[in-house]
Amino acid sequence: MTTLPQSTERKLGLVIDLDTCVGCHACVVSCKGWNTENYGAPLSDQDAYGGNPSGTFLNRVHSYEIQPEQGLAQTIHFPKSCLHCEDAPCVTVCPTGASYKRVEDGIVLVNESDCIGCGLCAWACPYGARELDQKEGVMKKCTLCVDRIYNNNLPEEDRVPACVRTCPAGARHFGDLGDPDSDVSRLVAERDGMDLMPEQGTKPVNKYLPPRPKDEEAIDVLAPFLEPVAEEPKGFLGWLDKTLEKL
């Protein structure tokens, strides 16, 4: 058993806008590229060119359909990675102390040199956010790009997770969700940001902004259906002539 810190100095995490995510997988691949080359063991791929390719990813996008009781079916793209929970069950279940939550920023990490690949943490995570790397035999998960966000070798504007830097639609936001005045906290407040599966009691730090209502017959009452200028084509030409005079 591993203990969680009583509290963390900051709560760094992601805010993911489901109203804007087009499901392009840019974040998925950028994450794979950065984290293959950086923190810990590379993210390996098995049967890479074969019948059952399967590799380690720290972030995946799932697509779902929703059929409202009334109206048209909708498609939702749902990116999912570790939510860096305040009450992270993946940490408390770890038998070696390899999984831990950082006191200074709340990032949940795996210390690969202590990880025995037992997989208990993946079982404990209700979100399915951890993947065991088949080649290395260690547990991999989102690091919130801990090797980018403080990295003095990167320009300051690039000190954000790779997925945030690359997101073409700007649907991913990074910041301190423990600070109510941060941009991300304000966004969560404005857009009714929500926890994923709050009933699990994990208190996830990452938040999701729900899709705005769609397909509403939400025409501005000030712009009702257009009125014809005339009922007959001849009448239209009369209107045209009058209107041109006024120009």
Partner 1 sequence: MTQPKLDLSPKVSDEVRKTTCYMCACRCGINVHMKDGKVAYIEGNRDHPVNQGVLCAKGSAGIMQHNAPSRLRAPLKRVGPRGSGEFEEISWDEAYDIAASWLAPIREDNPSKLAFFTGRDQSQSFTSMWAQGFGTPNYAAHGGFCSVNMAAAGIYTMGGAFWEFGQPDWDRTKMFMIFGVAEDHDSNPIKIGLGKLKARGAKVIGVNPIRSGYNAVADEWVGINPGTDGLFILSLVHELIKSGHVDLQYLSLFTNAPALVNEDQNSEDYGLLLRDTDDKLMVMDRRTGQPAPFDRKGVVPDLAGTWHDNGTTHRSVFQLMAEQYLDPQYAPENVAEKTGIAADRIRRIAAELADVAFNQAIELDLTWTDFRGETHDKMIGRPVSFHAMRGISAHSNGFQTCRALHLLQIILGSVEVPGGFRFKPPYPKPPEAHPRPHAKPKPGAPLNGPHLGFVHGPDDLALDENGTPARIDKAFSWENPMSVHGLMHMVISNAHAGDPYKIDTLFMYMANMSWNSSMNTGGVMEMLTDTDENGDYVIPHIIYSDAYSSEMVAYADLILPDTTYLERHDCISLLDRPICEADAAADAIRWPVVEPDRDVKGFQSALCDLGAKLGLPGFVNEDGSQKYADYADYIIKHERRPGVGPLMGFRGNGDETGRGAPNMNQIDRYIENGGFAMAHIAEEHQFYKPWNMGYQDWAVKLGIYDAPQPYVFNLWSEPMRRFQLAAEGIGTRQPPEHLRQRIKDTMVPLPIWYSPNEAENRADDYPITALTQRPMAMYHSWGTQNAWLRQIHGRNPLYVSRKVWEENGFSDGDWAKVTSPHGEIVVPVALQAALNDNTVWTWNAIGKRKGAWALDEDAPEATKGFLLNHLIHELLPPKGDGLRWSNSDPITGQAAWFDLRVRVEKAPAPADAQSQPSLPPIKSPVGSGPKALAWKVGK
For the chain, the C-alpha Rg in angstroms (whole number) is: 25
140-159 positions binding partner 1, by CB under 8 A: 146-147, 150-154, 157
User: By CB under 8 A, how many residues form the interface with partner 1?
Assistant: 94
Site string for partner 1, 27-66 (x = CB under 8 A): -xxx-xxx-xxx--xxxxxxxxxxxxxxx-x-----x-x-
For partner 1, the closer of residues 51 and 199 by Cβ is: 51
Scanning 8-16, 79-87, 198-206, 215-223 for contacts with partner 1 by CB under 8 A, the matching segment is: 215-223
For partner 1, the closer of residues 18 and 124 by Cβ is: 18
**The one among 117, 118, 136, 200 contacting partner 1 by CB under 8 A:** 136
- The reply to whether 96 sits near partner 1 by the rule CB under 8 A is no
177-206 positions binding partner 1, by CB under 8 A: none
- The reply to whether 75 sits near partner 1 by the rule CB under 8 A is yes
